[in-house]
Amino acid sequence: MRPYGAAWLQFFLQSLDLDQRLLRLELLGLGLGQMQGQDTISLSKAFIREEDGVKYVFLRGEDGRLKRQEIQTGRIFWGDTYEIKSGITSEDWIAFPYGKNVREGARTKEGTINQLYGY
C-alpha cells in the first residue's frame, strides 16, 4: 500500500558528467518543475468548480467584484493540481474560499490568510 500523497514514477536520468555515479546508499533528489522559457499556470482543485462538464473559477474583475471565468485544464499534478491551458493569466486574482451561496457580482476583499481568518 502506498503512503498518502506518494507516487511511484519511472524516470530516466541523464548526466552530463559521465564520471559521476551514484554509490550504494546515496540519495538522489528529483523535483518537478517547468522548463525554462515555458509559462505554466497551475491551480489547486480547491479553486476550481465544475458545472455540466465546464470548469471555471471565480476571479476579481476590473470592478473589484466576482466574475465567473471558464477555464481549460490540461494535465493534473500530484492528484490535486491542474495545469491551466487557457482562461486565466498569472495577473488574475483568483477568489477563494467558496461558499454555497457565492455568486457573480459579489464584492471581493483582499488580504493575507492571517487577516482573513484571524490566525
pLDDT tens-digit map of 45-58: 888 999 999 999 99
User: Residue 37, class by beta-carbon neighbours within 10 Å (0-12 exposed, 13-18 middle, 19+ buried)?
Assistant: exposed
pLDDT at position 36 over 50? no
pLDDT tens-digit map of 73-99: 998 888 888 999 999 998 898 887 677
In this structure, the strands spanning 49-51 and 54-60 are antiparallel
The DSSP-derived string for 12-56 is ----S-TT--PPTT----------TT---EEEEGGG-EEETTEEE
Mean pLDDT of 15-31: 55
- pTM beyond 0.85: no
Lookup: cell for 96? 477563494
Lookup: cell for 16? 552530463
User: Residue 91, class by beta-carbon neighbours within 10 Å (0-12 exposed, 13-18 middle, 19+ buried)?
Assistant: exposed
